[in-house]
Structure 1
Amino acid sequence: MTVRERTQETESRILSPFAALSSKSRGRRRPEDEDELRTVFQRDRDRIIHCKSFRRLKHKTQVFLSPEGDHYRTRLTHTLEVSQIARTIARALLLNEDLTEAIALAHDLGHTPFGHAGERALNQLNPKGFRHYEQSVRVVEKLEKNGRGLNLTEEVLDGIYCHTCGQEAFTLEGRIVRLADRIAYINHDIEDAERAGVLDEQEIPREITAVLGASKSQRINTLVESAYQNSQSGAIALAENVQTAFDRLHAFMFSSVYTNPSAKKEEVKVPNLIEVLYRYMKDPDHLPEPFRRIAGQEGCEQAACDYIAGMTDQYAVQLFEMLYVPRSWNGMPMTV
Structure 2
Amino acid sequence: MTAPPDTTSAFAAAQQAREAAWLSPLAMPSYPARRASEEVDSGVRTPFQRDRDRIVHCKAFRRLKHKTQVFVAPEGDHYRTRLTHTLEVTGISRTVARALRLNEDLTEAIGLGHDVGHPPFGHIGEDVLDRAGRERFGRHFRHNEHSLRVVDVLERLNLTEPVRDGILRHSSGAGEPATLEGKIVRLVDRIAYINHDIDDAVRAGVLHPGDLPVDEIAILGPTGPARIDTLVNDLVEHSEQAGDIAQGKSVGRAMYALRSFMFERVYLGPRARAEHAKIERVLRGLFEWYCTHPEDLPEPVPGADEADRVIDYLAGMTDRFAIRAWTVRFVPQGLAL
Give your verdict on TM over 0.5: yes
Alignment of 1:1-336 (within 5 A): 2-25=10-33, 27-126=34-133, 127-144=138-155, 149-166=156-173, 167-232=175-240, 233-282=242-291, 283-289=293-299, 291=300, 293=301, 297-331=303-337
Whichever residue aligns with residue 178 of structure 2, its letter is F
Answer with 181-190 or 261-270: which moved more.
261-270
1:89-124 C-alpha deviation (Å, 9 max, x unpaired): 000000000000000000000000011111011101
| CA distance in structure 2 between the aligned counterparts of 1:32 and 1:122, rounded to whole angstroms | 36
Whichever residue aligns with residue 164 of structure 1, its letter is S
Q: How many residues align?
A: 322
| CA distance in structure 2 between the aligned counterparts of 1:131 and 1:182, rounded to whole angstroms | 17
Q: Which residue of 1 aligns with 2:6?
A: none
Which SS does the other structure have where 1:230 is aligned? helix
| CA distance in structure 2 between the aligned counterparts of 1:185 and 1:175, rounded to whole angstroms | 16
Whichever residue aligns with residue 143 of structure 2, its letter is H
| CA distance in structure 1 between the aligned counterparts of 2:309 and 2:48, rounded to whole angstroms | 30
Structure 1 segments unaligned to the other structure (5+ residues): 332-336
| CA distance in structure 1 between the aligned counterparts of 2:229 and 2:272, rounded to whole angstroms | 27
| CA distance in structure 2 between the aligned counterparts of 1:7 and 1:319, rounded to whole angstroms | 48
Whichever residue aligns with residue 71 of structure 2, its letter is F
Q: Which residue of 2 aligns with 1:334?
A: none
1:121-180 C-alpha deviation (Å, 9 max, x unpaired): 110111211000000000000011xxxx10001100100011011211010000000011
| CA distance in structure 2 between the aligned counterparts of 1:314 and 1:204, rounded to whole angstroms | 32
1:279-314 C-alpha deviation (Å, 9 max, x unpaired): 22224312112x3x45xx332122100100000001
| CA distance in structure 2 between the aligned counterparts of 1:14 and 1:238, rounded to whole angstroms | 24
Whichever residue aligns with residue 29 of structure 1, its letter is A
| CA distance in structure 2 between the aligned counterparts of 1:2 and 1:49, rounded to whole angstroms | 26
| CA distance in structure 2 between the aligned counterparts of 1:143 and 1:185, rounded to whole angstroms | 27
Whichever residue aligns with residue 313 of structure 1, its letter is D
1:9-56 C-alpha deviation (Å, 9 max, x unpaired): 21121000000000144x001111111111110000000000000000
**Contact kept? 1:64, 1:264, Cα under 8 Å:** no
Structure 2 segments unaligned to the other structure (5+ residues): 1-8
Q: CA deviation at 1:202?
A: 2.1
| CA distance in structure 2 between the aligned counterparts of 1:285 and 1:216, rounded to whole angstroms | 47
